[in-house]
Structure 1
Amino acid sequence: MSPETATTSTKTALGHLRVLDLTRVLAGPWCAQNLADLGAEVIKVERPGAGDDTRSWGPPYLRDEDGANTSEAAYYLTANRGKLAITVDIATAQGQQIIRELAAQSDVVLENYKVGQLAKYGLDYNSLKQIKPDLIYCSITGFGQEGPYAARAGYDFIVQGMGGFMSLTGERDDQPGGGPQKAGVAIADLMTGMYATIAVMAALSHRDRTGEGQYIDMALLDVQVAMLANMNMNYLTTGVAPQRWGNAHANIVPYQTFATSDGHIIVAAGNDSQYKKFVQIGGRPELADDARFSSNPARVQHREQLIPLLAEMVKLKTKQEWITLLEQAGVPCGPINRLNEVFDDPQVKARQMQISLPHPSAGSAPLVASPMKLSATPVSYRNAPPLLGQHTEQILSDILHYDAAHIAELRAQKVI
């Protein structure tokens, strides 16, 4: 099946909303892209001549139909589809006025500037709510608006370390290659974008009921701490900081990777019945009868004795033999796919997770679909991530009703 060519949905959940996106890099743009996918009109504001930092975070870059690189880095394409793009120099009085006029006609403002930076331009929440009392204003920073670290710049990698994630991720210290490890993607940024999306939607629901706007203070460190889930509770209920388990699980055994005769598989036996089927398929049914291994708490306690026995058992079959037999028995399992295998997977294809959108310089842009599947108001893919300033004249003319002479003057003065 070829990648789906995305089209605009005529019925969207958020088509009545306008979002002014003053964010760049990943956390803020990820939130804004979610809102755009759900139908909101999102206006991305960038610096003239430079734009979002991620536009130049390459290679790789999007290639045109002749195979030549365009100006759009793959990283930028990650989080900016469905948006309109305008360039505005907010350090100028005229640029600030443009932002104020756009905010006055918007439902939501998103920003991820350093704490206090927008206040000097009169573009902070307290300033903008004077002209738009029901405005939802979401600030995304590394450490929040108060506290001893509030003035620090926030970077995902650093937050993964500070927030405890890297103390839980990586091979065990007593194993070869043991030590702290970051995630393969910027999870603190991405999860902050997701939490920000939820917070914005909650604030909009409150506004629709009461007419009251509000301020949202999102911090990467807060999100990183919150998302540690059961590991947080393992610590809080015992006072003992959890250790790294590599590809194993702190509370479930066996729940990890195993080497087969020709590769690796993941086995996630979440209950005793699944474990029993696993060892029966492997020709070792006695491992289910052994009192040390007959229940999950016992298996966790005797992990060091059990895992070598299971590892020896798994090596006797190929990866595909194991997956076929375990799937037939209802034991959760799976391969470890590279991304070429991911996008070639029949389930990923069936879910239409790769899309293509027309692109002004590349002809088309391959993109990853939103995972949100809504029956009545499906996500809307209106346009590929925009070129720098692609819609500047359109926005100033259609929304702010600037005439051509005024726009030309702003451009001559490098305000836009």
Structure 2
Amino acid sequence: MEKMNLGYDVLREVNPRIIFTSVSGYGPDGPFASRAGYDMITGAEAGLLHLQGERGRGPVKAGIAVTDLSTGLYAHGAILAALHARHRTGVGQKIDASLFETQVALLMHSAMAWLNQKQEGTRWGAQHPSVVPYDAFKTKDLYIVCGAVNDKQFLKLCTILGKPELAKEERFGDGQSRVDNRDDLHAILDDLFVLKTTDEWMALFDGTGLPYGPINNMERVFEHPQTEAREMVHDVPYEHATSGKLSLLGPAVKMSDTKPTIRRRPPLHGEHTAEVLQEYGIDARELDALKKDGVV
């Protein structure tokens, strides 16, 4: 981080309006400041892996780099806030984002339960700690996620499954009883859901108001009509691809008056470093010095 701070000091002397963003594993100070940052390592150290996995079994990492990606999103928001502040004050600032701090912040309700009630977090797999049933169920071909958040929904679910009498059993009669007897209930539901395909269950659940949805693989995600309707895939020219194009994910958030667009292909590593710094007044001699010091 010393080189990062040196770079910021040099750049700010040249242009006090510059906004400098640093992303690290553990932040610029504290006893772990010099440690390298990796998604799964900081996810483990900051509690994420403690919460992920099946009940009674070992920890499981997420299928995507949640901590890495979330750090980028936090940094994105901070950059926009710094730009707004510069618009008002005329002065830029240095932004520090770290994987560790991001993941601690993402603990949310598990953190609040521990900090205020000393209630330890635990792994629940696809289940919910206080809403039963709410889980992923194996169907004849895939998986479906389904739940019932109150007694009325539970009766509706049991009726769709062809077992309305389940809702009248004392051990499943109310929310707390279902939580207390979750293993018995899930064993019964597992045996029912496997009798039909995911699409057959989807047709039965349609319009019921129950929370439900298929667990889609990548093929089904990108064949999903909502993916197309919300323009979540964009093709851009890309000379390095054999097809001459590169398919990119579209922006997750849309705006009414300033529609976000993808205007160019992803840059190569360091492709625009010199160009961006020159826009901030860094000449060729100063750029060479920054490269020599390992700043860029």
Same fold (TM over 0.5): yes
Give the count of matched residue pairs.
Answer: 288
1:142 pairs with 2:25: yes
1:333 pairs with 2:219: no
Residues in 2 aligned to 1:396 and 1:224: alpha-carbon distance in whole angstroms = 31
More helix as a share of residues: 2
Aligned partner (choices 120, 123, 136) of residue 7 of structure 2: 123
How far residue 246 of structure 1 moved from its aligned partner, in angstroms, is 1.3
Residues in 1 aligned to 2:279 and 2:177: alpha-carbon distance in whole angstroms = 67
Alignment of structure 1 residues 52-63 onto 2, 5 Å: none
Residues in 2 aligned to 1:278 and 1:150: alpha-carbon distance in whole angstroms = 51
Q: Is the CA contact 2:14–2:281 (under 8 Å) kept in the aligned structure 1?
A: no
Residues in 2 aligned to 1:336 and 1:154: alpha-carbon distance in whole angstroms = 31
Alignment of structure 1 residues 5-16 onto 2, 5 Å: none
Residues in 2 aligned to 1:369 and 1:255: alpha-carbon distance in whole angstroms = 31
Residues in 1 aligned to 2:10 and 2:272: alpha-carbon distance in whole angstroms = 26
1:164 pairs with 2:164: no
Secondary structure (helix, strand or coil) at the match of 1:207 reads helix
1:291/1:226 CA distance change after superposition, 3 Å: farther
1:132 pairs with 2:11: no
Structure 2 partner of 1:382: 263
Secondary structure (helix, strand or coil) at the match of 2:28 reads coil
Bigger mean CA offset, 179-188 vs 278-287: 278-287
How far residue 141 of structure 1 moved from its aligned partner, in angstroms, is 0.9
AA matched with 1:123: G
AA matched with 2:141: D
Bigger mean CA offset, 147-156 vs 288-297: 288-297
Secondary structure (helix, strand or coil) at the match of 2:172 reads coil
Structure 2 partner of 1:22: none
Alignment of structure 1 residues 74-93 onto 2, 5 Å: none
Residues in 1 aligned to 2:274 and 2:71: alpha-carbon distance in whole angstroms = 32
Secondary structure (helix, strand or coil) at the match of 2:128 reads coil
User: Residues 196-226 of structure 1, C-alpha deviation per residue, up to 9 Å, x if partnerless?
Assistant: 1111111222222233332222111111111
Aligned partner (choices 210, 214, 218) of residue 89 of structure 2: 210
AA matched with 1:163: A
Residues in 1 aligned to 2:176 and 2:115: alpha-carbon distance in whole angstroms = 19
How far residue 398 of structure 1 moved from its aligned partner, in angstroms, is 8.2
1:129/1:243 CA distance change after superposition, 3 Å: same
1:384/1:287 CA distance change after superposition, 3 Å: same
AA matched with 2:16: P
Bigger mean CA offset, 150-159 vs 390-399: 390-399
Structure 2: runs of 5+ lacking an equivalent? none
User: Residues 244-267 of structure 1, C-alpha deviation per residue, up to 9 Å, x if partnerless?
Assistant: 111212222111111223332111
1:153 pairs with 2:40: no
Residues in 2 aligned to 1:297 and 1:153: alpha-carbon distance in whole angstroms = 45
Aligned identity (percent) is 40
AA matched with 2:12: K
AA matched with 2:157: F
Secondary structure (helix, strand or coil) at the match of 1:292 reads helix
1:191 pairs with 2:70: yes
Residues in 1 aligned to 2:85 and 2:268: alpha-carbon distance in whole angstroms = 35
Aligned partner (choices 117, 120, 127) of residue 241 of structure 1: 120
User: Residues 140-188 of structure 1, C-alpha deviation per residue, up to 9 Å, x if partnerless?
Assistant: 1111111111111111110111111111111222xxxx31111111111
**RMSD across aligned positions (CA):** 2.8
Structure 1: runs of 5+ lacking an equivalent? 1-114
Bigger mean CA offset, 206-215 vs 359-368: 206-215
1:256/1:377 CA distance change after superposition, 3 Å: same
More strand as a share of residues: 1
User: Residues 39-61 of structure 1, C-alpha deviation per residue, up to 9 Å, x if partnerless?
Assistant: xxxxxxxxxxxxxxxxxxxxxxx
1:380/1:337 CA distance change after superposition, 3 Å: same
How far residue 394 of structure 1 moved from its aligned partner, in angstroms, is 6.8
Residues in 1 aligned to 2:104 and 2:18: alpha-carbon distance in whole angstroms = 28
Secondary structure (helix, strand or coil) at the match of 2:13 reads coil
Higher relative contact order at CA 8 Å, sep ≥6: structure 1 or structure 2?
Answer: 1
AA matched with 2:42: V
Structure 2 partner of 1:231: 110
User: Residues 306-364 of structure 1, C-alpha deviation per residue, up to 9 Å, x if partnerless?
Assistant: 21122223233332221111123121211111111111111111112111001133221
Residues in 1 aligned to 2:177 and 2:97: alpha-carbon distance in whole angstroms = 41
